[in-house]
Every structure is written in structure tokens, then in C-alpha cells.
Chains A and B, each alone.
Chain A
């Protein structure tokens, strides 16, 4: 306000000066001057040139008329001027009084600019607090898209970043971060290069150095499928309902695994700074700041050490299988469940990938490499999304079904001579031991020896029950029972991408073969095959593990990888609570005891490394025949200790032959790791044809 006063004083001073000069100028010499002027005027021009002199004499009539007309014109001109001033005033009224508010907002928008402060994403830890996914700052060189049109700058960038020109150009054209976003040319740029760029802003117009937080995976591809990866937020992500976080265009968001499952916890909330800016967008003053809120750390139920072991086990089994005549064994799954609460202690899917390469902006080539045909689908988590015939591992559940429906009584025995022709010679089905036979077997031995014919008989009884019922009300007793053990639907694990599998029924078969009605007929073979886990039944390794855990625990729980959420101080703020499955199987302790007896006999009979474990184990092998495959799929599932179950491990190896030769190694070595026993290297032996 000092300046205001100053201005007024200066203006006033100027006019005081003017006024005083005037007084001096006119007042004291007025009279003299007047006479002089008039005289001079006469002297010089002889005749008066101005009207002033004319006024002295009397003006004639015409002259007076002209004067009047002239005045009329002046008044007309005055009216025009008034109109102009009125128009201006009205326009100003409309701008300032009527639209003033909206212009004030525009002026405000003009001069404020919001910059958001990214919030670090929460880390992902194992159950013991070991970091599985972390963050680290990385200096990135980014550039506006238009830079691609400046060959000199592209050359320069290629030179100082030590990248081929083609790569620089390609990165500049890459629009995975959005068409308008700056393109990331290089990440993890050394400080020296950054300094050079910052010292030469003119050379590098359009180029920016930004510090980004990138995701780090200290153990490489460890538990890759469980951890998942993040990626730039897309429009589809933004439109997903029920979001706790408001995303911005350059946010990274969980795309799979735990990163996706716990997105709302891991994602921090961006802070914001409001600046006053000038016309060039340069911040002048900080008006407001709200600090970012870090994302919370999430502990998974995964045990890093065990996970490391299972990752190695599954890959060792596969490489060993290659040496043992199973060249097509190229994929597998291994999962270990904590029976007490359903937590996943380890989950390995082979082949795997490196999440770090995907999380920090995957290149198009890398994506193609992972998704092209023949890549072996490394991105698929076979534990939850791999669908396989359950094979003989299923016999535990069909046993329980037989017991539940009284098909298998205490003394029910069936005879096995290798070939089962209950529905006639043309419908004959073989036991795996054919041309030999098992002889007469009770349930426990049938499980132990995995006798197919025993279970064909169980299946046949279920078929009869179905067939005998009136056509409009035929019960799917077996299927309904199997479904209560979690088959045919998702287990409800807390990571996305789970497959539900399939439990075939007559109705399903009719729909499935709706184009060929005769093929849609429910046959006894459908039932008998289902009882040995073949035919149209499809399960995931997780369903098998979870089902066996259910048998051991006598309750079905939803498996989970969520352990707890930690606050900034590392204290647990949210702990997982075990969740029971919505549908619970009918539990009969006597029935379960008989099945467990059978399962324990399997392990006792197999002996070998199982004998070296300090606990007794119950388990079952499986050898799945898959029509399109070149070799059988190898299954094994077991839980331990048998008397007080704690861990359940399921293993599947694609095209690796018998369950008792390949997959069993996965279970054995996982249990050996759990009980800290050394059982030697993983060597697949060409096992017996036993299932």
C-alpha cells in the first residue's frame, strides 16, 4: 500500500505544480496578454480569422442558423458517445457482475496447479516378515513423444544412455503408459548421465529425469505366480467398481497374484501439492500440501524358505524327468497347505516368469515371449488354474461317497481279476494291473493298491441308484457328495484366476453334447470312470490339496495366502481369520478313519524316503490319462503327520508318467524340507505301473 500512497502523492504533486504554474501564467498577466492577443490578431491578418472577433459584432441571421445546425450535430455526436459508453458499461456489467464467478474460477484455475506426490506401494512379505516384493528408487529418463521427430536428440540420447538408436526410438513410440504420457526411455540411469542431462536443459528439451519407485523382487522368480506383478493402470481398471483408491493415469496397479488381491491395502494414497504457478507453469508458491499415505505391507502365509524349496523341487523333477524318458514333462504344480488354517505355505507353478520384468513396464517382446504359442504358458498359475483329471487321488473321495451311501459297508469286498465286464464284454474295463489281478479286496487295501475294479463296482452301484430312480428325479448322489468336498467349484482362495474344475453329471453331459444327442446319454462308464478320477472330471492341484486337507481336518476351509497387514511400525493390524467353505461335507469319523487307514497303507507300502520322515504320512498317488498328451500326468498328494495333520502337499507333473515315480518326489522332498530331513537329490525313477 505504500506504493499507492506514493503514486497518489506523485500525481497530486504534479497537479499542484501545474496549478501553481497556471496561476503564475495567467492571473498576473491575463489582462496584458488579452489585449495583446486581440491586437496582434488584427495586425497580422487584417481580417479576423476566428469567430471570436465575429462574436463581437452582431452575427447575421444565416450565420446564426449555421451555428445552430453545427450545435445540433454536436448533440447528435454526444448521443452516439452516450450510446458507446452505455454499451461498454453493459458489457462490463455482464462480464464482471453476471459471469464474474465463472471468470474468477477460470483465473484461479489459471494460476494453480496440482502435482501429486506418489505414495510408496506397500511391500509383500512372507509369513516371517521376509521381504518378497520391495521398492527401490530408480532414476528414469523420460521424454515427450515429439522427441522421436528430432533425430539429433535421439542420437544424443542413444549416445549418452548407451542404447542403440532403434531402441531409443522404439521406447519413444511405446504408448503402454498412455498416449499423452511421457515415454520411459531408460530406467536405472546412472547419476553421471542424469547430471549431464540436467546441466544441458537446452540440448535435452522435452527430456525429463524422474525418480520413480520400482518394484523389486529380491528372490527373482520365487513364488512369481503367487506374488503377481503390477502394471500401468488402464481405463478398464479405472472403471472397475468398488475401488478404494482413486487412481491417476500414471499409477501402477496390481495385475495378478497378491499384487492384485491386496491392491487396496498395498496401494498408497497419493499426496497432493497445490502450487501457484505463472504462465509457464513454474511454481511460485506452495499453497497446500497433503502428504502421501504409504501403502501397507502385507504378510503372506507363504514361507519363503519352503517356497524356495518347492520352486526348486518342481523344476528339478521336470529336468530329471527329461533324463528318464519323459521329454514332454515340461510343466507342473506343487502346493503345500497349512491344514490348521488353510494357509498356503508354498505354491509353485512351473514354468515360471520373472515378475520384475513385468512390473516395471514390460517390453512388448517380453510379453510376446511369455504369451506366444509354445511358450508353455508361464504366466498361468497351474496350482489354481491348471485343470487335470484327478486320477487315483480321487479314490479317497469316491471311497467316502461309497461309505456315505452304504455302498461300501464294513465287510464290502470286491474281486479283481484285471478285467471288469459287469456291463458286458464290449464294455469291459481294465484295472491298471491287467492282465494280472488284485484278487478280493476290502476298501483299505483297494485304496492302498489303487484297485480300479473296486471303484468300478462302487461307480456301478451309484449308476444303478441313478438309473432306478424315476427319470424326472434321478439323484446325482456321487456328484453332489464330491461337490461338498470342494470339487466342481472354486475353492475361494484369495488370489484371482482360479479355475473351478468340473464334476460331470447326466445333465451336464446332455448339455455338453447337445449337438449329438446319442453321445449325451449318461452311461455307466461315466460313473465308473469318475470313481477312479478319469473321464470328464477335472480338478486343480489346489482342489486336491484342499480336499485332502479337508479329510485330515474334517472341515473344509477356504485356502488363502493372506496372513496379516502391518502398519508403518511393523505391527499387525489385520490378521487373517480362517474361513470355512460355504458347503461342508457330511463328516463321519468312522468313514474318514477307514480312508485314512488306506492312505497310510499307501505310504507304508511305498516306504523309501517316507520312512526317513519323523512323522507318519497318509497319501495317494495318481496317474492321469489325458487323451491329447504323449505321456500320463503324474499326481501325488499327502498329509502329515497322519495322526495329527499339519501339512498337506499336492504335486502334479504334466506328462511325467506314474504318480509314484515323479510327483511323489515333490511331496517327499517338500515334507523332508518341512521336517528338515535330508533325503538326497531328486531323481525320477521309472516306477512301476502302479497308480
Chain B
């Protein structure tokens, strides 16, 4: 993943006036153009696929214009965040954490909480369904980054590590009250990325991974025993067990619990090299593919645009992450770096899990695909993340050219 070289210098256009050249120079200094271009390409690509998926989908509850509104709101929020100096945010740790918990727990409140597919992950405000867990991800990124950046890249103390990790666990626990395992896993990925990038000592990271593996093993081991003694699903839900079984054996029960994975794989596989053509997906338009516009949107893309379309998407993601890495490396302070890395961790995990589950590499969990999946709350979260990254870029001191720096020192 080669970081894209940001062009700080303006293209030499002999006819341009010095004043104009100055404006362009300043613009390029504050705007990470490659990242902006990747964002534009990804959003356009995502909208195209969502358009196809929503047009084809037999379920009329998905509307393309709704997604457009999500993008527009997202763009505005992104600009606002971009404008704000991210460093100012570091003082609001307590406020952010309170807000975070409020957002995560709001779907559990009476009147506004809405249950969809057995999870209370939604609230209904002014007739609009909002998933507060999505913006909560971004707030978590900023809060965790602010917390961990205080250690200035050196988090050796077990006590301090436990403090940060405990906070992450508290957030996770709050999400599992909904319960929303998918979002919980994203939180965990964000937290772990920030802890790792924030300089947590290797031994704590490794120990954490071991504990996680142990807990997962314990849950899988204890679940049948507890189910038997209590007579109901205690730890894992029935569908979660089924998903794990399907993950172990891809050909299990292709008309029952294995149906989703089988249809997803048929959709992807039948795309071939160039796909069936935009709007020509049969798997989603005829209803074989479940949740086509949301969690399984990658299948629509793979079926319609084939391997080439998939490679294009992966390339755009790689460019997004590469450009973000560049921002992380160029950031002035650990706080900036950690914000960017939190966003990167969030995206990478979601890409891995979403694409991975559709092609059988990961167990099926409800996690959307960044910039592509249907959902305005989700779009908002993605744009917020980019707003933060732009902010980190635009507020780095190195962007200032020589004379400006001198001016500042004075």
C-alpha cells in the first residue's frame, strides 16, 4: 500500500497570475486532494450500487433518495468537522463519553426505541429511523484517541492499560444490551487499533488477544451447557449458533440456515470477470439474496460488475486507507494519528467482515460495507470519520510554508 503523494505544490501554469497561484497553493496545503478524490470516487461508486440494489429490491422500504439525503447530511457534517481543529476535541473526553453512552443506550429508551430484526439498535425521531450506534462509533474513536494519546505513545503500565481497556469493555457491554454483536465487534476493532497504535506494550496487546480467544472459547463451550440447564438461549442466540455452524461447514443446509451464504456466494461467483452488467443482478432483483441493499450489497456489486468491479472497489478502499495512513504519519501529534488510525481500524474491520462474510471467510454478522451499504446513519458516520481525518490533515503545522511558520513563531 503505497501512500499517495499529496501534491502540495501547485501545477506550474505559466499563464496564472501569482495571486491565483497563491490561492491554489494554499488550497492544496489544507486539502488532501487524493483523499478527497478517493472519497468522491467511493461515494459515487457506492451510490451507483445502492441505486441498483434499491431499484431491484422487491422491498420498497429502501429508497435511493433517502441514501442521497444521508450523503448530503454526511457531507455537511464532514465539512463542519473538517473546519474544527481536532485538537480542541481532546478536552471533551468526559462529555464525549457521556454522549457516547447516551447514544448507545438511547434505543433502549421507551417511545423512541425501535426493534428491528430482534435488536434494539434504532431510535425513531420525527418519523426518521436513526441508528445512534453509527455516530457513536466516531465519538468512540475521538474519545479513545484522546484518552490514549495522553500516554504519548507509551502505554506500559498495566493499570493504565486496564483503565483504557475497561472503558472499551464498558462501551461494548452497553452495545450488547441492544444486543448488536456486529457494532460491538466494530467498537472492539476501533479500540484495539487505537490501543495498539497508541503504543500499548506488546505484552498487553498479546494478553488481550489471548483473553479474547479464551472468552470466545468459553462462550462456545459453556453455551450448550447453560442452554440446557436454563432451557433458553443464554449466551448465544440460536441464529448465532447456526451462523457459526455454517461458517464451519459452508455446504450445511443450503435451504435453511446455510441459505444466505449459499445465495451470497452464488451471487458473487456468478458475476465472473466482468459481471452481468449494472442493474442486471438476478440474485437480488428476484429476491434470492437477502438484505441486498444493506449487509449483502457487496454481492450485488460482485454480481453486476464482476471481479473487475470488486477489484476496483478494493483498490478504492486501499487508496482510502493508504491516504489516511499518510495523514496519520504526517499528523502533528499522537491524538491526530490515533484519530486517523481509529477510523482506519473501523473501515478495515468492516471491509474484512462484510466482504469476508459474503464469501465465506468470516461468520455472518450484520456489518455494513463502508460508503456502499444502504443506510443514512451509516453514511453519516463514514463522512464524520473523513471529516476528522481532513481536520487532522488541515491542522497539521507542517502544511504551513516557510514564511508562515516564521510568522507564527514570532
Given A97-B272, A107-B283, answer yes or no on A8-B48 (Cβ-Cβ < 8 Å).
yes
Q: Chain A residues near B333: list those with CB within 8 A.
A: 49-52, 54
Q: Which of A1-50 contact B (CB under 8 A)?
A: 1, 3-4, 6-8, 10-12, 14-15, 17-19, 21-23, 25-27, 30-31, 34-35, 37-38, 41, 45, 49-50
Q: Chain A residues near B79: list those with CB within 8 A.
A: 18, 21-22, 25
Could you tell me the distance between the alpha carbons of A70 and B335 in the complex, rounded to whole angstroms?
A: 12
Q: Which of B322-345 contact A (CB under 8 A)?
A: 325, 328-329, 331-337, 341, 344
- Residue in B83, B336, B359 whose CB lies within 8 Å of A51: B336
Task: Say if the beta carbon of B248 comes within 8 Å of chain A.
Answer: no
Question: What are 23 residue pairs bridging A and B, where the CB atoms are less than 8 Å apart in the complex?
Answer: A8-B48, A10-B68, A11-B47, A14-B68, A14-B72, A18-B36, A18-B79, A25-B82, A26-B26, A26-B31, A73-B197, A77-B197, A78-B325, A81-B348, A85-B1, A88-B314, A88-B352, A88-B355, A92-B355, A95-B359, A96-B271, A111-B288, A278-B58
- Residue in A19, A96, A111 whose CB lies within 8 Å of B282: A111
User: Is B334 touching A70 in the complex (CB atoms < 8 A)?
Assistant: yes
User: Is B270 touching A107 in the complex (CB atoms < 8 A)?
Assistant: yes
Could you tell me the distance between the alpha carbons of A116 and B199 in the complex, rounded to whole angstroms?
A: 69
Interface size class of B (residues with CB under 8 A): 35 or more
Task: Say if the beta carbon of A67 comes within 8 Å of chain B.
Answer: yes
Residue among B52, B91, B332, B334 with the highest chain A CB neighbour number at 10 A: B332
Q: Chain A residues near B366: list those with CB within 8 A.
A: none
Task: Say if the beta carbon of A56 comes within 8 Å of chain B.
Answer: yes
Q: Taking the nearest CB of chain A, how far is it from the CB of B242, in angstroms?
A: 20
Task: Say if the beta carbon of A66 comes within 8 Å of chain B.
Answer: yes
- The interface-forming segment of B107-115, B210-218, B303-311 is B303-311
Task: Say if the beta carbon of A82 comes within 8 Å of chain B.
Answer: yes
Residue-wise interface mask of B (70-91) relative to A, using a CB-CB cutoff of 8 A (1 in contact, 0 not)? 0110010011001101011011
Given A88-B361, A95-B269, answer yes or no on A11-B87 (Cβ-Cβ < 8 Å).
no
User: Is B328 touching A53 in the complex (CB atoms < 8 A)?
Assistant: no
Q: Which of A57-115 contact B (CB under 8 A)?
A: 66-67, 69-71, 73-74, 77-78, 81-82, 84-85, 87-89, 91-93, 95-97, 99-104, 106-108, 110-111
Q: Chain A residues near B51: list those with CB within 8 A.
A: 3, 6-7
Main secondary structure, interface of B, reads: helix
Task: Say if the beta carbon of B279 comes within 8 Å of chain A.
Answer: yes
Could you tell me the distance between the alpha carbons of A621 and B187 in the complex, rounded to whole angstroms?
A: 105
Task: Say if the beta carbon of B409 comes within 8 Å of chain A.
Answer: yes
Could you tell me the distance between the alpha carbons of A85 and B1 in the complex, rounded to whole angstroms?
A: 10
Could you tell me the distance between the alpha carbons of A23 and B79 in the complex, rounded to whole angstroms?
A: 11
Could you tell me the distance between the alpha carbons of A54 and B153 in the complex, rounded to whole angstroms?
A: 15
Binding site for A on B (CB under 8 A): 1, 23, 26-27, 29-31, 36, 39-40, 43-44, 47-48, 51-52, 55, 58, 68, 71-72, 75, 78-79, 82-83, 85, 87-88, 90-91, 152-154, 193, 196-197, 199, 263, 265-273, 278-279, 282-283, 286-288, 302-303, 306-307, 310-311, 314, 317-318, 321, 325, 328-329, 331-337, 341, 344, 348, 351-352, 355-356, 359-361, 394-398, 400, 404-405, 407-409
User: Is B27 touching A110 in the complex (CB atoms < 8 A)?
Assistant: no
Could you tell me the distance between the alpha carbons of A18 and B400 in the complex, rounded to whole angstroms?
A: 23
Given A30-B30, A55-B398, A92-B268, answer yes or no on A37-B85 (Cβ-Cβ < 8 Å).
yes
Could you tell me the distance between the alpha carbons of A95 and B287 in the complex, rounded to whole angstroms?
A: 21
Interface size on A, residues (CB 8 A): 75
User: Is A12 touching B288 in the complex (CB atoms < 8 A)?
Assistant: no
Q: Which of A601-644 contact B (CB under 8 A)?
A: none
Q: Which residue of B lies closest to A30 (CB)?
A: B26
- Residue in B44, B78, B82, B306 whose CB lies within 8 Å of A7: B44
Q: Chain B residues near A19: list those with CB within 8 A.
A: 36
- Residue in A23, A53, A55, A110 whose CB lies within 8 Å of B283: A110
Q: Which residue of B lies closest to A52 (CB)?
A: B332
Given A52-B397, A87-B361, A96-B302, answer yes or no on A15-B272 (Cβ-Cβ < 8 Å).
no
